[in-house]
Amino acid sequence: MIPDKVPKEDVFHGSLDLKKEAHISSFEKYKDLYLKSIESPDEFWGGIAKDFFWKTKHTGQFLDYNFDVTKGEVFVKCMEGASTNICYNLLDYNIRERNLGNNVAFYWEGNEPGDDLSVTYRELLHRVCQFANVLKSQGVKKGDRVSIYMPMVVELVVAMLACTRIGAVHSIVFAGFSAESLCERIMDSKCSLLLTADGFYRGDKLIQLKLLADEALQKCKDMGFPVKKCIMLKHLSKEAEDAALGCQSPPAKRSCPDLQEKQWVKKSRPVPQVPWNPEVDLCWHTLLCDASDECEPEWCESEHPLFILYTSGSTGKPKGVLHTLSGYMLYTATTFKMVFDYQPDDVYWCTADIGWITGHSYITYGPLANGATSVLFEGLPTYPDVSRMWEIVDKYHVTKFYTAPTAIRLLMKYGSEPVQKYKRESLKVLGTVGEPINPEAWLWYYNVVGEKKCPIVDTFWQTETGGHVLTPLPAATPLKPGSATFPFFGVVPAVLNESGEELEGPCEGYLVFKQPWPGVMRTVYGNHQRFETTYFKKFPGYYVTGDGCRRDKDGYYWITGRIDDMLNVSGHLLSTAEVESALVEHEAVAEAAVVGRPHPVKGESLYCFVTLAEGVTYNHTLEAQLKKQVREKIGAIATPDYIQNAPGLPKTRSGKIMRRVLRKIACNERDLGDISTLADSSVVEQLFQNRCCSAV
Ligand code: WTA
């Protein structure tokens, strides 16, 4: 399956010699180890597990599973019988066994240049223990779910790890999501507690997080699910404003005296007035005053739930992807180490938000498991100017840098000059994630950002996979621009045709996986049936990714994009059904159909067709209302780029909307293929006539 020989020509390596110190220094080594990982997973993963702390050892098989729905329930179990604690492994064990206490865990870089601080492993441990005690004092117990809706601050990592220390399950909701989305997620995972902050700035824009959190909690209450407590971190407000909140000044810290003070934005920015409900709201800093910084970890079974993270589902309702303790820990640690070829003197920077899986696996868990030093960035690549990323790379001497194609395409528009203002000499490996990267963007990243020195790791994976599944290894894999290359250890991909037959050699079809790896999701929280239907029903015996892919003559995999009703906007998955249902909730809309239209920076943009209710006329006010409606229901990332008034939609005789035809209309492509099943073909011409030409 892995080719014997990889091409020597028309491939890229990066001119730096990484082989000397690399974990995997040649394609042959990758191949040997890959075969071992597939043939004897127990031995392969068992060897890796030795580097971690286990309170009790596992008994029996390393991985036990069933992927075939026709043979019974789908399940994956890893290291049954073992017990551990991930927070203990990431912090206590690294401090004790590897003497990393004084190493920097995070360089925090705020939205405003100059607003920064650093936290060592020891300081982080103390903060986590203190906050774990706060959670306990609020009655949070092993297995309870805690919802987290916070900006990119060190306390977000503290909150995650504090949950894991006491065996609670975090459910982080990206701080760009709306109050309604937050409410939906809180209710689905039945969280008893919400952690949030007063607000934060994204560039010039103030996001009043506490207001949104309050709105979400009110909605939860109205729907019969009152959340007991909400703990608010003061990220923006200064001491002077605190009296109004009934919130005391931050305590004098025992362990890291100035973390809190420094983290407040010192610039003269307007600070939001924060509403305060004494029955529900609690002040983070006040609670810390009474909290001890010692907290015994809760030892949990291997398959104990670690976290829930929601991802868009093609039926519209988001799915709570559940990951469990041991498998996820081993997998994120190993992928981080190998894919970025992590070395002890590295400074690593992943620009993702922790609210997405990339941030969970490759800001918090993978890097901390390796004792790495990372940059944690609150801001935007374009604020205060389009050189910000490279300024940060030079400031911290970043060696391994991980970002999304959408960011690369955005910066590419400004040319090479803003990049070349900074030296970037420290860079060794560049990574991308989230969507297919077009070869033009890949080459710009390689030539301009990396100056032909750095290999690019194009990592394909999903919220569901927990970590990288198709990816190059920087010192081993010859690179082709736009290809995620080969499977990671333990991962067995296949390409299927429509009838579910495995294709050999060069081909194109459905990307599936034949067996589990330790980090794969275990279930959809509260809905195991949905887990089976979504991922295992179409092709029994396989995990179906929902992505299409091509395998070329050299055996390289190329992701061609989603083949279900999902869109990828700026690296964020959205379901068409979710946007459609937000639109039809407006009284003026009778029916809606949403498709993706290619976009030069975002990958895809949202093109929405709406059929209005009887008697309603279409105008700009309605259009603005509809956009607002979607933004408020889902979040700013889902704001439609185009809305077209569609008096009729192309439907089959059985009433199914032909999205394929709508996609062509959105792109103004007249070659519609076979449309003989259309009930009324005149609607198509009408839609072509009224196309939206530019985004408003
Ligand atoms: C897409 C993000 C091509 C893909 C980690 C997948 C990619 C979805 C790549 C998962 C890549 C992610 N090349 N496509 N390197 N990485 N995707 O759950 O469609 O937010 O199914 O996880 O993003 O998105 P998710």
Instruction: Give the residue ranges of DSSP H helices in 197-269.
Output: 209-222, 239-242, 259-263
d(CA 398, CA 476): 22
Provide the residue type at 105 as one letter: A
The pLDDT tens digits for 359-369 are 999 999 999 99
pLDDT at 592: 92
d(CA 157, CA 676): 55
- Helix H or strand E encompassing 200: strand 200-202
Whether the CB-CB separation of 482 and 458 falls below 8 Å is answered with: yes
Whether the CB-CB separation of 372 and 332 falls below 8 Å is answered with: no
Mutate which of 177, 469, 559 for ligand 1? The one with the most ligand atoms within 8 Å of its CB, which is 559
What is residue 460's three-state secondary structure? strand
Q: 679 falls in which pLDDT band (50, 70, 90)?
A: confident
Q: For tokens 């039926």, what's the residue?
A: 315
Whether the CB-CB separation of 555 and 514 falls below 8 Å is answered with: no
Is 463's C-beta closer than 6 angstroms to any atom of ligand 1? Answer: yes
The pLDDT tens digits for 631-669 are 999 999 999 999 999 999 998 777 778 888 999 999 999
Q: For tokens 């374009």, what's the residue?
A: 382
What distance in angstroms lies between residue 471's CA and the mean position of ligand 1's atoms? Answer: 12
What distance in angstroms lies between residue 431's CA and the mean position of ligand 1's atoms? Answer: 13
The partner residues of 545 in beta bridges, in order of sequence, read none
Whether the CB-CB separation of 145 and 186 falls below 8 Å is answered with: no
Is 547's C-beta closer than 6 angstroms to any atom of ligand 1? Answer: yes
d(CA 617, CA 635): 26
Is the pLDDT at 265 greater than 50, yes or no? no
Is 458's C-beta closer than 6 angstroms to any atom of ligand 1? Answer: yes
Q: Return the exposure string of 101-121: e unless at least 16 CB atoms fall within 10 Å of the residue's CB, then b.
A: bebbbbbbbbbbbebbbbbbb
Q: If you take atom 24 of ligand 1, which residue's CA is the nearest one?
A: 462
d(CA 601, CA 409): 5
Mutate which of 462, 521, 543, 637 for ligand 1? The one with the most ligand atoms within 8 Å of its CB, which is 462
Q: If you take atom 13 of ligand 1, which residue's CA is the nearest one?
A: 436
Atom of ligand 1 nearest to the CA of 471: 15
pLDDT at 694: 56
Q: If you take atom 10 of ligand 1, which residue's CA is the nearest one?
A: 462
d(CA 484, CA 480): 8
Tokens of 672: 């519609």
What distance in angstroms lies between residue 304's CA and the mean position of ligand 1's atoms? Answer: 26
What are the C-alpha distances in Å from 559 to residues 105, 239, 546?
34, 51, 11
601 CB neighbour count, 10 Å cutoff:
16
Angle at 538 between CA 536 and CA 541, to 5 degrees: 45
The pLDDT tens digits for 469-519 are 999 999 999 999 999 999 999 999 999 999 999 999 999 999 999 999 999
d(CA 253, CA 259): 9
Q: If you take atom 25 of ligand 1, which residue's CA is the nearest one?
A: 462
Its pTM surpasses 0.85: yes
Query: DSSP letter at 571?
Result: T
What distance in angstroms lies between residue 313's CA and the mean position of ligand 1's atoms? Answer: 14
Instruction: Give the residue ranges of DSSP H helices in 386-544.
Output: 388-396, 405-412, 417-420, 439-444, 528-536
Whether the CB-CB separation of 332 and 519 falls below 8 Å is answered with: yes
Is 435's C-beta closer than 6 angstroms to any atom of ligand 1? Answer: yes
What are the C-alpha distances in Å from 614 to residues 584, 608, 655, 682?
14, 19, 19, 20
Is 111's C-beta closer than 6 angstroms to any atom of ligand 1? Answer: no
Within 278-367, strands assigned E span 281-283, 300-301, 305-311, 319-324, 347-350
What is residue 643's three-state secondary structure? strand
Bond from prior residue into 384 cis (ω within 30 degrees of 0): yes
What distance in angstroms lies between residue 394's CA and the mean position of ligand 1's atoms? Answer: 29
d(CA 66, CA 75): 5
Mutate which of 309, 488, 570, 573 for ligand 1? The one with the most ligand atoms within 8 Å of its CB, which is 573
Q: For tokens 């979400």, what's the residue?
A: 216
pLDDT at 432: 97
Least confident of 49-53, 73-77, 244-248, 554-558: 244-248
Tokens of 694: 């530019």
Q: 246 falls in which pLDDT band (50, 70, 90)?
A: low
Mutate which of 174, 323, 461, 535 for ligand 1? The one with the most ligand atoms within 8 Å of its CB, which is 461
Atom of ligand 1 nearest to the CA of 566: 19
Within 68-166, strands assigned E span 75-78, 83-84, 104-109, 116-120, 145-149
Q: Is 39 exposed, middle or buried (0-12, 13-18, 19+ CB in 10 A)?
A: exposed
- Mean per-residue pLDDT, 269-291: 89
What is residue 501's three-state secondary structure? coil
What distance in angstroms lies between residue 460's CA and the mean position of ligand 1's atoms? Answer: 6
The pLDDT tens digits for 457-468 are 999 999 999 999
pLDDT at 262: 46
d(CA 616, CA 644): 14
d(CA 297, CA 291): 15
pLDDT at 260: 46
Q: If you take atom 11 of ligand 1, which residue's CA is the nearest one?
A: 460
Q: Which of 374, 375, 370 is nearest to 94 (CA)?
A: 370
d(CA 631, CA 637): 8
The partner residues of 502 in beta bridges, in order of sequence, read 496
388 CB neighbour count, 10 Å cutoff:
22
What are the C-alpha distances in Å from 421 to residues 27, 31, 385?
36, 40, 12
Is 559's C-beta closer than 6 angstroms to any atom of ligand 1? Answer: yes
The pLDDT tens digits for 317-349 are 899 999 999 999 999 999 999 999 999 999 999
Whether the CB-CB separation of 471 and 447 falls below 8 Å is answered with: no
Q: Which of 54, 51, 77 is nearest to 65 (CA)?
A: 77
Tokens of 443: 């080459």
Mutate which of 435, 566, 575 for ligand 1? The one with the most ligand atoms within 8 Å of its CB, which is 435
Q: Which of 278, 266, 110, 125 is nearest to 202 (CA)?
A: 110
Domains and CATH numbers, the chain: 30-236+274-527+534-549 (3.40.50.12780), 570-690 (3.30.300.30)
Cα atoms in the Cβ-side hemisphere of radius 13 Å centred on 402? 29
The partner residues of 340 in beta bridges, in order of sequence, read none
Cα atoms in the Cβ-side hemisphere of radius 13 Å centred on 592? 26
pLDDT at 272: 73
What phi and psi values does residue 380 have, to the nearest 5 degrees?
A: -120, 155
Q: Which of 325, 324, 328, 334 is nearest to 471 (CA)?
A: 334
Q: 256 falls in which pLDDT band (50, 70, 90)?
A: very low
What phi and psi values does residue 400 have, to the nearest 5 degrees?
A: -120, 125
The pLDDT tens digits for 575-617 are 888 899 899 999 999 889 999 999 999 999 999 999 998 899 9
What is residue 37's three-state secondary structure? helix
pLDDT at 250: 45
What distance in angstroms lies between residue 691's CA and the mean position of ligand 1's atoms? Answer: 30
Whether the CB-CB separation of 126 and 218 falls below 8 Å is answered with: no
